[in-house]
């Protein structure tokens, strides 16, 4: 099986070094605990002007530049799913069946698309600065679906009323 996986910068190698100590992209090294030599490279991701070094490792000798390109794509995909799960509140969505996964995928894609379209309407940012997806999601929710927001607030008020009416019974 061919794998490409991200690794921590402090991952130990059999010769005692760490990943961050490597100087040549595409180096073949043996990480501690693995029987096979792995090809290692890294990419620099620029998030909010600060560069961050990410390491990627493969069991195939893909070469340093190509492995770095594959790794960069990998983190773009991971960033999308992290945004979708964390910032759009879809991490608790039922994903236990094929239909649940399909619903999750459709809702995630729709939420991301609406936020992206909202981001296109905003003034241009400096390159390399990521949008605040949570703020964009709130803006979309308030501007495109005010009834949904109104209903969510009403449900919260109903829950508070139910709690207040139940409180005297708990004290007695």
- Does the structure show a pLDDT above 70 at 91? no
* Better-predicted residue by pLDDT, 15 or 127: 15
Instruction: State the average pLDDT over residues 35-63.
Output: 80
* Better-predicted residue by pLDDT, 42 or 77: 42
Position 160 confidence tier, pLDDT thresholds 50, 70, 90: very high
Cα 26 from Cα 3, distance rounded (Å): 15
CA 30 to each of CA 5, 12, 17, 73, 90: distance values in angstroms, whole numbers, following the listed order: 14, 9, 10, 24, 38
Q: What is the pLDDT of residues 116-138, one digit of tens each?
A: 888 887 777 666 677 777 777 77
């Amino acid at each position: 099986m061919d794998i490409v996986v991200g690794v921590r910068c402090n991952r130990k190698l059999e010769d005692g070094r760490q990943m961050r100590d490597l100087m040549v992209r595409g180096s073949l090294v043996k990480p501690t605990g693995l029987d096979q030599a792995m090809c290692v490279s890294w990419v620099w991701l620029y998030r909010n002007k600060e560069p961050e070094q990410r390491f990627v490792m493969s069991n195939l000798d893909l070469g340093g530049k190509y492995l770095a390109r594959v790794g960069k794509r990998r983190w773009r995909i991971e960033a999308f799913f992290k945004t979708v799960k964390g910032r759009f509140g879809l991490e608790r969505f039922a994903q236990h069946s094929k239909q649940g996964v399909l619903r999750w995928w459709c809702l995630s894609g729709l939420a991301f698309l609406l936020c992206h379209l909202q981001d296109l309407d905003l003034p241009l940012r400096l390159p390399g600065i990521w949008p605040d997806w949570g703020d964009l999601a709130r803006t979309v929710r308030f501007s495109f679906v005010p009834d949904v927001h109104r209903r969510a607030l009403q449900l919260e008020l109903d829950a508070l009323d139910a709690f207040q009416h139940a409180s005297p019974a708990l004290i007695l």
